[in-house]
A and B are shown apart, each in its own frame.
Chain A
Amino acid sequence: MLFTSWAFLLFLAVLVPVYFLVPKRIQWIVLLLFNAVFVCAAGVLGAVFMVVTIGTVYAASRAIDALYSRQRETLAAIKETHTKEERKQTRLRFEKRRRLVLIACLAVNFGILFVLKYGAMIGRFSAALFGTRAFGQDLALTMGISFYTFSTVGYLLDVYRETIPAEKNPLKLALFTSFFPLLVQGPITRFETVGRALLEPHSFDGQRFLSAGLRIAWGYWKKLIVADRLLVAVKALCARPDVYRGDFILVEMLLYAACLYADFTGGVDITIGVGELLGVRIEENFLRPYFSKSISEYWRRWHITLGEWFKRYVYYPLSVSKPMRALSKGTRKLGAGVSRRVPVYLATLLVWALTGAWHGSRPTFLVWGLLNGAVILISEELKPLYARFHKRSPRLTASAFYRGFTVIRTVLLLSSLRILDCYGTIKEAFSSFFSMFTTWNWGAVFRGGIQSLGLSYTDYAIAGLGVIAMFALSMTQRKGAIRLRIRKRGTVFSVCMLLVLIGTILIFGRYGFGFDASQFIYNRF
């Protein structure tokens, strides 16, 4: 069910009144039923995979929890009778069992994700090498699996670390895993926040409803007016790397930057807005990312929940893991700097390789991830140089001009890396990127070139105005949430703003017959 479909709006129109009319104690059950409808509407296979995830994670979390309880009971029982070493061995035995349970569950869930993401690629390789077909070759990525697998596995890891207790009711875990707005393109959420909020009773609040409506409408505005419009040109550019080269690539980079921002943030606005409609607060996934002054800052402000997941569950545990500590120790003779850097470098590159792999099976994603990691590490290495520069030219580096320069530099850098997202092969991506420096064809771009991309000048003008509106709103947001300021001006003003948003979507949005209702870009990851 696309967010941009009548079916979805109808689904919401039925859910919201039902949710608030039923007794509060069964609200979460009603929501679970609606989630089930949403999941099943996307396909039975997806529902089966989700049930497997819920079942395995529930069983594993309960088993881990039980092992903790038994460990505590056993240790208490043998406290007086056993030696310290014996108690340690007992603890280690329980720890080993818990790890086994955890690994088995992770293997099942990441195994499903792996097969769905990489089945086609493995199939191609096996067909090329052995002339055989691989299991999973024909399976397509089912709705939201990359997002709910990470959220649910995050919950399991939290239980494993005893950060949170295991949920006793499997249906409550099912509610968290299947919460429908999160299945389109995330964000990746945590059980102790969203999972708990879903279980709380919620009352209807007109003001919250209006506020949520504004957020949802703004999401649709970005998606239908800007993202879906620019996507036509981006697709046209990416489809013909043999034709669109040179300066077209710069146009492609900038259009894709705007398109992806409008698409992803638009979708998340709708998700967060839908959560708010029901009284459920969902974590923010963006913090004006295009105002970042460096790539590492950008990644703290773009798809925040994915970055945090990797940091919390991969980067930190990996950095302090036994092999890393051993590696650090082993490289001490090469100097303190090297010894300190080796685990950080390895963990960073591994996290970025995984981030790339999470985005897709194409080798371009892996290279994209590794390049991001490399840029971040190089920036870290250059920090002392920057510091010296800042010290020598304090007035320049404090100026708005310099801040603007760093922001534009970051946008151009991340857009350059994103070229890898646009093409099927690494060769195409690099060849297209470097053609910017070997082919000078602004003339072709502006002599009707951009009109050959499926958009009219009016479309570019509308998208341009949309981008300006998004930029202006982001600037305004620095002084506080825009919705709060709208709400402060009263209910009538808020309603007027909502109607203006809906009206402009209806008139300038790309939807209806003749337009491809496109899924959100991040839905394919």
Chain B
Amino acid sequence: MKRELKTAIGILLACIVFFGALSALTRLAAPKYHDTLIDGHLTGEYYDEKTDHDVLFVGDCEVYENFSPVTLYNEYGVTSYIRGGAQQLVWHSYYFLKDALRAETPKVVVFNVLSLRYGEPQSEAYNRLALDGMRWGAAKVGAIKASMTGGEDFMSYVFPLLRYHDRITALTAEDFEYWFKKGDPVSFKGYMMHTGVEPAAETPQEIYEPNLPEQSFAWLEKIAALCEENGIALVLIKSPSIYPEWHPEWDAEIAAFAKAHGVRYDNMITENDAIGIDMQTDTYDQGQHLNVYGAEKLSRWFGKVLKEAYGLKDHRGEAAYDADYAALTERYEAEKQRQLSEENGA
């Protein structure tokens, strides 16, 4: 009996060491998304939020690079967060919204419609960027199942070592630095800042399907239904950009959807003048995304629209929000200066 007990304890200890080592190696091998591929850091940063938000943006790079929650608060007292990611597809947005609803119920959800052009999973790498940082729950399970491309398997999301084991032989200083350390946020309530300026240039003509995929609309229906169930106003937007192109047929389809569902749709491309966007100075990548100057202009314009249309409360003067946004603004301005200094070669 004593011998059997000793054996059992020995096996238990061996298993504890084994699973401990595997867990440590999993953390080491997983991408840290801190110094490189930082878009992957966005998803996880949402869970560090200390205050809730009246406006939740969901969508792709056209939201997380084009809207500044700092400006929205400082100008209008509107609290907001951007749950966006690189090539965030419509079902990612749906599940991010569902995930967010576990913690808070925003008054307005803003969804950028560009991602509707994709009705099928596109890339494993972007799936990982979007989903690695997501907290486990029914929403994450749904998001993974909806997103997996050929060759992916669910198990590798549950046990990331199965996916990232080959990184063990290609580790960088970043992996060791953030092995057990979380690291500072890379965004400003989901906004990714770029101070550079690269004026818009001629864009390639693309061949396109005149109709957006049916699957995309099925997911958009789900987003609309989720908002309705939770008493949230859904706003569809097409963020200002020159490329990828936004085609009139697609615009008409979205407008029809918005009309049918009684939701607001703003195609901001047509509002460039009103917003004051100048694609010679307000973009950092030739008109694909806005730089910080463009994002601030767009946020000033859109903040007013939201406030007027939905009567959003001005939270300025409330201690918790003021403290939160004061710290954020300080970090935001410091980052702006850092990037400007870097651009100027300082």
B168 close to chain A: CB less than 8 A = yes
- B162 pairs with A512, CB closer than 8 A: yes
Say if the beta carbon of B245 comes within 8 Å of chain A. Answer: no
In whole Å, how far is A510's beta carbon from the nearest beta carbon of chain B?
8
B163 touches A513 (CB 8 A): yes
Q: Of residues 13 to 59 in B, which have CB atoms within 8 Å of A's CB atoms? A: 14-15, 18, 21-22, 25
Chain A residues near B205: list those with CB within 8 A: none
- Given A462-B169, A499-B18, A513-B152: A507 in contact with B161 (beta carbons within 8 A): yes
Bound complex: CA of A458 vs CA of B166, how far in Å?
Answer: 11
**Residues of chain B within 8 A of A508, CB atoms compared:** 165, 168-169
CB <8 Å contact, B7 and A6: no
Which secondary structure dominates where chain B touches chain A?
helix
The 8 Å CB contact of A491, one of B11, B22, B25, B168, is B11
* B343 at interface, CB cutoff 8 A: no
In the bound complex, residues from chain B placing their C-beta under 8 Å from that of A514 are 124, 151, 166
Interface hits, A149-188 → B, CB 8 Å: none
* Chain A positions within 8 Å of B169 at CB level: 456, 458-459, 462, 508
- Which residues of the other chain, A, contact B22 by a CB distance below 8 angstroms? 503, 506
**Interface check B213, CB cutoff 8 A:** no
Q: Is B156 an interface residue (CB 8 A)?
A: yes
- A495-B165 contact in complex given A503-B18, A506-B22, A507-B25, C-beta closer than 8 Å: no
The B148-178 residues at the A interface (CB cut-off 8 A) are 151-153, 155-156, 161-163, 165-166, 168-170
Instruction: Decide: A513 and B151 in contact? CB cutoff 8 A.
Output: yes
Point out the residue from B7, B124, B153 that lies within 8 Å of A492, measured CB to CB: B7
Cβ-defined partner of A6 (8 Å) among B14, B25, B153: B153
**B156 and A513 contact, CB distance less than 8 A:** yes
CB neighbours (8 Å) of B15 from chain A are: 495, 499
Partner of B124, one of A502, A509, A510, A513: A513
Interface check B262, CB cutoff 8 A: no
Contacting residue for B163 out of A458, A496, A499, A512, CB 8 A: A512
Contact with B along A493-525 (1 / 0, CB 8 A): 001100100110011111111110000000000
A6 cross-chain contacts in B, Cβ below 8 A: 153, 155
Chain B residues with CB below 8 A from A502, complex form: 18
B199 on interface, CB distance cutoff 8 Å:
no
| Chain A, Cβ-Cβ closest to B164 | A512
Other-chain residue from B7, B14, B165 in contact with A512 (beta carbon distance below 8 A): B165
CB of A224, distance to nearest CB on chain B (Å): 10
Point out the residue from A496, A506, A510 that lies within 8 Å of B14, measured CB to CB. A496
Contact A495 B11 (CB under 8 A): yes
Minimum distance in angstroms from A228 CB to a CB of chain B: 12
- Note all chain B residues with C-beta closer than 8 A to A512: 153, 156, 162-163, 165-166
Contact between chains at A509 and B14 (CB < 8 Å): no
Q: Is residue B10 contacting chain A, with contact meaning CB distance below 8 A?
A: yes
Find the B residue at minimum CB distance from A496: B14
A434 to B43, CA, bound (A): 58
- B7 touching A509, Cβ below 8 Å: no
Q: Are B162 and A506 in contact (CB under 8 A)?
A: yes
Which residues in chain A, 2-24, are within 8 Å of chain B measured between CB atoms? 6
Which residues of chain A have C-beta atoms less than 8 A from B155's C-beta?
A: 6
Interface bin, chain B = 20 to 34
CB-CB nearest in chain B for A458: B169
Alpha-carbon gap, A495 to B168, bound state (A): 24
Of the four ranges (under 10, 10 to 19, 20 to 34, 35 or more), the interface on chain A belongs to 20 to 34
Q: How far is the CA of A513 from the CA of B151 in the complex (A)?
A: 6
Q: Does A490 contact B (CB under 8 A)?
A: yes
Docked pose: A492 CA to B25 CA in angstroms: 23
A510 CA to B153 CA in the complex, in Å?
15
> Which of A456, A509, A511, A512 lies at the interface centre, i.e. has the most chain B CB atoms within 10 A of its CB?
A512
Smallest beta-carbon distance A42→chain B, Å: 19
Q: How far is the CA of A177 from the CA of B166 in the complex (A)?
A: 39
Contact A509 to B165, CB < 8 A, known contacts A499-B18, A503-B21 = yes
Measured between alpha carbons, how far is A491 from B169 in the docked complex, in Å? Answer: 32
Residue among B124, B153, B165 making CB contact with A506, cutoff 8 Å: B165
Cβ of B171 to closest chain A Cβ, rounded Å: 11
**Cross-chain contact A492 with B10 (CB below 8 angstroms):** yes
When distances are taken between beta carbons in the complex, the residues of chain B under 8 Å from A511 are 162, 165
Binary flags per residue of B190-226, CB closer than 8 Å to A gives 1, else 0: 0000000000000000000000000000000000000
> Inside 8 A of A515's CB, which chain B residues have their CB?
166
Contacts of A506 in B (CB 8 A): 22, 161-162, 165
Residues of chain B within 8 A (CB-CB) of A490 are 7
- In the complex, chain B residues 66-87 whose Cβ is within 8 Å of any chain A Cβ: none
Could you tell me if B18 and A491 are in contact, using CB atoms closer than 8 angstroms?
no
State how many angstroms separate the Cβ of B149 from the closest Cβ of chain A: 9
In Å, the complex CA distance between A492 and B7 comes to: 6
* Residues of chain A with a CB closer than 8 A to B7's CB: 490-492
- Of the candidates B10, B156, B163, B168, the one whose C-beta lies within 8 Å of that of A507 is B168
Quick one: given A6-B153, A507-B25, are A492 and B161 in contact (CB under 8 Å)?
A: no
A491 to chain B, nearest CB (A): 5
CA distance A509 to B163 in the complex (A): 11
In the assembled complex, the Cα of A329 lies from the Cα of B165 at a distance in Å of: 67
A2 to chain B minimum Cβ distance, whole angstroms, is 12
Chain B residues, Cβ within 8 Å of A495:
10-11, 14-15
Complex Cα spacing A508 to B155, Å: 18
List chain A residues, Cβ under 8 A from B18: 499, 502-503
Tell me the complex Cα distance, A52–B154, Å: 38
Instruction: State in angstroms the CA–CA spacing of A495 and B153 once bound together.
Output: 28
Q: Looking at the assembled complex, report how far the CB atom of A10 sits from the nearest CB atom of chain B, in whole angstroms.
A: 10
State A97–B22 Cα separation when bound (angstroms): 65
Expressed in whole angstroms, the Cα–Cα distance for A28 and B10 within the complex equals 35
Residues of chain B contacted by A510 (CB below 8 angstroms) = 166
Distance in angstroms between the alpha carbons of A511 and B159 in the assembled complex: 13
Chain A residues 228-243 with CB under 8 Å of chain B are none
CA distance A462 to B169 in the complex (A): 10
**For window 102-138 of chain B, which residues contact chain A by CB distance below 8 Å?**
124
Q: Known contacts A491-B10, A499-B14; can you find 13 more A-B pairs with CB under 8 A?
A: A458-B169, A459-B169, A492-B11, A503-B18, A503-B21, A506-B165, A507-B165, A508-B168, A513-B124, A513-B152, A513-B153, A513-B163, A514-B166
- What are 15 pairs between A and B in contact, CB < 8 Å? A6-B155, A490-B7, A491-B10, A492-B10, A492-B11, A492-B14, A499-B14, A506-B162, A506-B165, A507-B165, A508-B165, A511-B165, A512-B156, A513-B163, A515-B166
Q: Which B positions have Cβ atoms within 8 angstroms of A? A: 7, 10-11, 14-15, 18, 21-22, 25, 124, 151-153, 155-156, 161-163, 165-166, 168-170
